Amino acid sequence: MEKEAQAAIKYIGERLPKPDWETARDLVSSQDRKGFVYLPKPDAQYAGKVLMMSDTHMVQQVGKNSAVAHDLSKLENGPELERQFDGGEIKVGQTNIKVEYGQDRGKADVLTYNQQRAETVRTQAEKWAEQHITNAKSREAFVKHVRAFAQDMAKGHQPGKAQPDQAKAPEKALQPEQQQQRSR
């Protein structure tokens, strides 16, 4: 039964060549645990840092000891990703990517740290609400606010500059004599 279930699972793309697969596995392995490198599944989305790029695949960390090997030929913007990687716009271990798949193709988008973090906050808060808020209207209101917060968070914080005339000088501590004069 288990083998039948595994055979029914469809993956997108070709396997990573063995030397590249071993390199990718080593990148997500730790001293106490061996890493795993998977192929993406249909109708799934993956987010995380780029670990490596080969001629045929982009490997992305999706968990502490796991990665997904995306076949560049199955991504709508595969050639563009290669160009960005070669041009230094996508950096190993620094650039976050979100990859979304349909039935047999996907598209990758480069994410800022804020976008990545906002997505994580949103999904965790929605899961929490599903488990802990039993009133449907309250849950919907909570999720609506979380989504708005996540959108703001994804934009990043851009502090406004205070105008010189708007800034207030701190008030000086008054001597007892001055306090009496003020109160008169």
pLDDT at 26: 94
The predicted structure's pLDDT at residue 174: 55
- Assess if residue 165 is contained within a domain: no
Domain at 68, CATH number: 2.40.50.140
Provide the number of structural domains found in the chain: 2
Query: Are 81 and 127 members of one domain?
Result: no
Residue 7 and residue 98 share a domain? yes
Q: Is residue 182 part of a domain?
A: no
- Structural tokens at position 65: 């000891």
Residue at a domain's end among 75, 93, 111: 111
Q: Which of 101, 109, 123 is nearest to 41 (CA)?
A: 101
Q: Please answer whether residues 77 and 46 qualify as being in contact, where contact means their C-beta atoms are separated by less than 8 angstroms.
A: no
Residues 51 and 17 in one domain: yes
Residues 88 and 21 in one domain: yes
DSSP strand pairing (96-101 vs 45-53): antiparallel
The whole-angstrom separation of Cα 179 and Cα 174 is 6
* Predicted TM-score (pTM) above 0.75: no
The pLDDT tens digits of the residues spanning 106-162 come to 999 887 777 778 888 888 999 999 999 999 999 999 999 999 998 888 776 544 444
| 33 and 68 co-located in one domain | yes
- State the residue range of the domain holding 134: 116-155
